[in-house]
Structure 1
Amino acid sequence: MDHLFSDLKRKGIHVYGKHNTRINREQEESSLEAIERSRVIIVIFSHSYASSTLCLNELVKILECKKSNKDKYEVWPIFYDVTPAMVRNQKGSYEQAFMNHEDSNVIRWKKALTSAGNLSGWDLQNTTNGNESKFIDIISKEIFNKLVDGPIPIGDNLVGLYARAEQMNLLQFVGSDKVHIIGICGIGGIGKTSIAKAIYNLMYKHFEACSFCEDIKDVVNRDGLVHLQTKLLDDILKDDDLQIPSVSEGVCLIKRRVKGKTVFIVLDDMDNQNQFEALAGHPNWYTPGSLIVVTSRDRQLLKANHAEQIYDIDPLNDEEARKLFNKYAFKNQQPRDEFTECANRILHYVDGLPLALKVIGSSMFNKTLHEWEHEIDNLQCSPNVVIQQLLKESYDGLDTDQKNIFLDIACFFRREKKDYVLKVMDVCESSFATNLRVLVDKSLISVCGDRIKLHNLVQEMGRQIIREESEEPGKRSRLWSPTDVLDVLKNDKGTEFIKGLALDLSSTKVNIDGQSFTKLKNIQLLRIYIGDLSSYTSGINCISELWKETNVRTASGKLEFFSNELQLLCWHGYPFQHLPASFCPESLLVLDLSFSRIKQLWSGSKGRIDVYEEVNIFLPGSRIPGWFSNENDGDIITLELPPHWCYQKLKGVATCAVITPVNNSNESTYSEISCSVKNLHGDLVAGVSLLATDDPNIGSDQIWMWYKRSNPRWRKPDDQFKVSFVCVGINCKVKKCGVKLIFEEDESK
């Protein structure tokens, strides 16, 4: 036993044991406590073992512990100079020993010996033909390998990890007759690795062999896939001498040698197909009852590789976020009252992202209130580098079109409707849907209902990419900050690099130089809008007079230039009566001039609407234009089709609605206005929803005009079709509506 103890200590294993059987009561209690604290318990059965009542009492205690918590304790017998049958049946020296025992515990001791004799262990004679040195080496290696397969350290400042791990209920897969591959998905810094470690610590005891491969992407970049294949097989097989010459050889070894054991493997931070094929492979590689857990930012990678369930990791809730932040920023102390406002600002900024709470919380520890305020201001214009780089890894994996869509969403379209973004970005529906799905699968955005959403820090990551294009705002591709937008438009600093520009009038007034638009030759998106009418405090009496608050300096008293590349032109309170004479709106998809002074949009050939696939126009007014040949009060109109009408000559349909407020309260809002065109059988021919802002209280009559080019569904109407409008909300209604069919002979009109 001394040699075994020494070998285990050399391997760094803490050992408790006794050399004699004559100990006092206090030492006996200490021995029983040591049993309870142990993970691996070795029972050495020798010729004289049954003669010691202390040994027999310890054996009873050991088996009681094993029975009460079988996952915690490993009990391994060593049959030194006796056979398992002698112990199990109490023969030989064991029988003689019991003839000398008169204790009332004899029955319990015999039962314990019988149970222990049936346990799997080592017999010195049968294992190594009596060679003690080899015997000790085999046993110490087995103990070492078992202890290595222990819980993985996660850290001390844990919030919500084990609760989220338990909510997944992966214990349902223990003892299954199938192989299960489970995915865990989420943005960088959301806690996928930490939750995977918590899952491992809860689950590893239920399997014959386990492996946790952490940070696969970085390890592969640094050491290669063969290194990870070697680690995985070493964890499973406990073979230090394993040599893998290539990835393909590693795949063959995993398929051949992992079979036969129920294994639990966690593969953390997978990011491409090659990694999956080299490490996880196919469910048929493994024995039924095995469980493979994979974490990744890429949902599509998981779906494409047999993941039967994918768990999305949500940000921490408000209570959890505050608790985790306090652990780092205040070392679990209750923050002083003067820090509460600053702490709330940070919690809102990080939006429940655990990594950000740790990084920013640690950076704030032991700093003054003034330093806190300074750091928070810095975060608004310069996000933390560690967080920025971690989140940007998902962006770096996108192609050019996907990157542009993501940047447009981050800068302009957060919380907007998916269909509206499709219209504005002028891409074919299938391509946009595919690219949007990639952004969802990469955990960069989410689509809730029909709205596009993204995390605060993911939005900041995208916007920081734009900031890094140039130190000069006028040389960046997208502008959204009121400070940057007004600097460019007021001081004529625009350039051809600007593709999109947005200015929220809820937070600022417009005081710009009209000449600055002449330099925006390639701008595709111009959006000067009221994001929140209830917070607009310019002091005007009526929202329809918003244009009076817009100061645009021009030499001629009118605007001279808009880029012909414009696809979205939204200017609430546009202060001029006409659009620029040189403006050709052939690229225009959405026109919104609500609350403006506009009197005429354009004339001549520029006024043709049939050149567009689809266009929306929203502007002030209370009359249906006379150009619409059919008009009706209310929100429904039925149109008789001309005799012998020909679908092939139909260019499209134009509809118009006058939307009027129900009351003048700023407390009510509507979310959208929709228009549908149906035949008399109720079949949908065409339909659209006009996106509205979260608080678009219109305040005065507005006109919405919509044109849709014809498609094969127009063959459905027979003699009549019906156009209907619906306002979702309680603050507005459709007062009048009109419709006009556009035929080839109308092109000259």
Structure 2
Amino acid sequence: MECKSSCVSKDLVGINSPIEALQNHLLLDSIDGVRAIGICGMGGIGKTTLAMVLYDQISHRFSASCFIDDISKIYRLHDGPLDAQKQILLQTLGIEHHQICNRYSLFYRKAFKLEKTISSNYQNLAYEILNYAKGLPLAIKVLGSFLFGRNVTECKSALARLRQIPDKDVMDVLQLSFDGLEETEKEIFLHIACFFNSWSENYVNNILNCCGFYVDIGLRVLIDKSLISINYSEIKMHYLLEELGRKIVQENSSKEQRKWSRLWSKKQLYNVAMESMEKHVEAIVLNDEVDYKERVYWNVEHLSKMSSLRLLIIKYGWNILPCSLSNELRYLEWYRYPFKYLPSSFHANELVQLILNWSNIKQLWKNKKVL
């Protein structure tokens, strides 16, 4: 069946090289037989688009052909394998005309509808949009569609809003990769998204191991699923995936029964205190540098109520005044700890690592302590 797809975009950018690589792997001109090829990567980078363009170019060489762009969706929303089989039969046997027309993870010039250049008034804005999307084709397409026809002021306002409320279509695509993880892998992903993006691999591995995660296996899974990468010994996560992780945590904290499992900002500390939800907090990493005049002094009772806290890292100008620490703590790192002793009520039975650089500590406890 000759492919007569009219929905493949004619203005794709950078498509020729990966298409040529795929054709070389298929060895279409060398031997007979059945061949399969996989295209892997995180949601939105253009896997479906590559497959569709390749199909468009080679399907005419076969007596029958079929293209289904979202088999997982068919399984979820229709009759599972039966519905997929029906589509294959319809396309390959020609029982019914079934033109291939699919949605693309895909860059169209939606925002400006131009082939070459844009006006100087929009030049800086275009750079901001591309910087926000961080090279993700799906994000560029969705943002471009949203911003089309708006003036510079409206575009800037819309982009500022999108940074606060990520576009739902983009997040839905990215979340597919997250939903396929096991629970431990999800926890590692969320820890990296909330706290550890662009941190040293060895440093993060040590923290996560102290917290009881199987980090060697977990990180390998995240790398294989293109949810993170390791560059120059640093853990890197795409900006939009970081937004996804934080969005998941914040959504879990926005219902009637808020959990606030992870905290990474002054505002979140205040929200937890206002709602008296300290008991659900499992991890705090306060890494943002705070101006001397804005140093945070947190009421002693709030930290004392965090009975489930397993990870606590405090850096820079944060000053939290504790009367107790969670006995569930496994990793405690507190730069410039302001006191001479740890709280006497703190029983470090679960503690794996303690780091108190540049602190005022004289000895761990004022009185004798049985460990």
- Specify the TM-score bucket, using the shorter chain as the normaliser: 0.7 to 0.9
What is residue 361 of structure 1 aligned with on the other side? 144
> Pick from 224, 243, 254: which aligns with 1:471?
254
Structure 1 residue 335, shift from structure 2 partner: 4.3
**Partner-residue secondary structure (3-state), 1:218:** helix
User: Which one of 74, 78, 83 corresponds to residue 227 of structure 1?
Assistant: 83
Q: How many residues align?
A: 359
- Return the match for 1:329 from 78, 98, 111: 111
- Name the stretch that deviates more: 154-163 or 430-439: 430-439
Cα deviation for residue 523 of structure 1 reads 1.3
Report the residue type matching 2:265 in the other structure. Answer: S
List gaps (5 residues or longer) in structure 1: 1-144, 242-265, 270-314, 317-323, 531-548, 609-749
User: What is the match of residue 439 of structure 1?
Assistant: 222
Q: CA deviation at 1:371?
A: 2.5
Name the CA distance, whole Å, in 2 between partners of 1:460 and 1:335: 29
Give the whole-Å Cα distance in 2 for the aligned partners of 1:562 and 1:172: 63
Q: Matched residue of 2:308: which SS? A: coil
Select the structure with the greater relative contact order (CA < 8 A; seq sep ≥ 6): 2
Deviates more, 1:328-337 or 1:386-395: 328-337
For 1:412, the equivalent position in structure 2 comes to: 195
Tell me: CA distance 1:360–1:511, structure 2 relative to 1, closer, same or farther (3 Å). same
Q: Distance in 1 between matches of 2:260 and 2:169?
A: 24
Q: 1:209 aligns with which of 58, 64, 67?
A: 64
Deviation at 1:431, TM superposition (A): 4.0
Q: Deviations over 1:531-573 (max 9, x none)?
A: xxxxxxxxxxxxxxxxxx5555x5xxxx311112122222222
Name the CA shift for 1:421/1:504 in 2 (closer, same or farther; >3 Å). Answer: closer
Post-superposition shift, 1:449? Answer: 6.3
Other-structure match for 2:330: 567
Deviation at 1:484, TM superposition (A): 2.5
Question: Which one-letter code corresponds to 1:521 in the other structure?
Answer: S
Tell me if the contact between 2:26 and 2:35 (Cα under 8 Å) persists in the aligned partners.
Answer: no
Distance 2:344 2:240 in 1: 42
User: Distance between the aligned counterparts of 2:31 and 2:79, measured in 1?
Assistant: 35
Q: Deviations over 1:18-56 (max 9, x none)?
A: xxxxxxxxxxxxxxxxxxxxxxxxxxxxxxxxxxxxxxx
SS at match of 1:598: coil
**Structure 2 matches for 1:281-296, cutoff 5 A?**
none
> 1:212–1:444: structure 2 CA closer, same or farther, 3 Å change rule?
same
SS at match of 1:471: coil
Q: How far did residue 501 of structure 1 move?
A: 1.4
- 3-state SS of the aligned residue for 2:219? helix
Contact residue 568 and residue 589 of structure 1 kept, 8 A: yes
Specify the SS of the correspondent of 1:468.
helix
Q: Is 1:522 aligned with 2:308? A: yes
More strand by proportion, 1 or 2? 1
Q: Is residue 582 of structure 1 aligned with residue 366 of structure 2?
A: no
Structure ID, larger Rg:
1
Match of 1:163 among 8, 17, 24: 17
Task: Report the equivalent of 2:296.
Answer: 511
Rounded to whole Å, the distance in 2 between the matches of 1:479 and 1:467 is 10
> Residue 186 of structure 2 aligns with which residue?
403
Q: 1:336 to 1:562 in 2, by over 3 A?
A: farther
Q: Residue in 2 aligned with 1:176?
A: 31
> For the Cα contact (< 8 Å) 2:211–2:310, is it kept in 1?
no
Q: Give the 3 Å change call, closer, same or farther, for CA 474–223 of structure 1 in structure 2.
A: closer
Match for 2:344: what amino acid? Answer: A
How far is the alpha carbon of 1:360 from its aligned partner? 0.9
Note if contact 1:418-1:452 (Cα within 8 Å) is conserved in structure 2: yes
| 1:337–1:471 distance in 2 versus 1, CA, 3 Å | farther
The equivalent residue for 1:19 is: none
The corresponding residue for 1:599 is 362
What is the letter of the counterpart of residue 339 of structure 2?
F
In 2, Cα distance between the equivalents of 1:434 and 1:223? 35
Q: SS of the residue aligned with 1:183?
A: coil
Change over 3 Å in CA distance of 1:575–1:490 after alignment to 2 = farther
Contact 1:154-1:197 within 8 A present in 2 as well:
yes
CA distance in 2, matches of 1:178, 1:214: 23
Identify which of 221, 235, 240 aligns with 2:95: 240
1:489/1:596 CA distance change after superposition, 3 Å: farther
Please say if residues 474 and 495 of structure 1, whose CA atoms lie closer than 8 Å, have aligned partners that are also in contact: no
SS at match of 2:66: strand
Deviation at 1:435, TM superposition (A): 3.2
- 1:334–1:590 Cα change, 3 Å: farther
| Mean CA deviation greater in 221-230 or 563-572 | 221-230
Taking structure 2 as the reference length, the TM-score comes to 0.82
- Once the two structures are superposed, what CA deviation does each residue of 1:230-262 show, in whole Å capped at 9, x if it has no partner? 3324444x3639xxxxxxxxxxxxxxxxxxxxx
- Alpha-carbon deviation of 1:355? 0.7
Distance 1:231 1:477 in 2: 44
Distance 1:429-1:571 versus aligned 2 partners, 3 A rule: closer
Alignment of 1:371-390 (within 5 A): 371-390=154-173
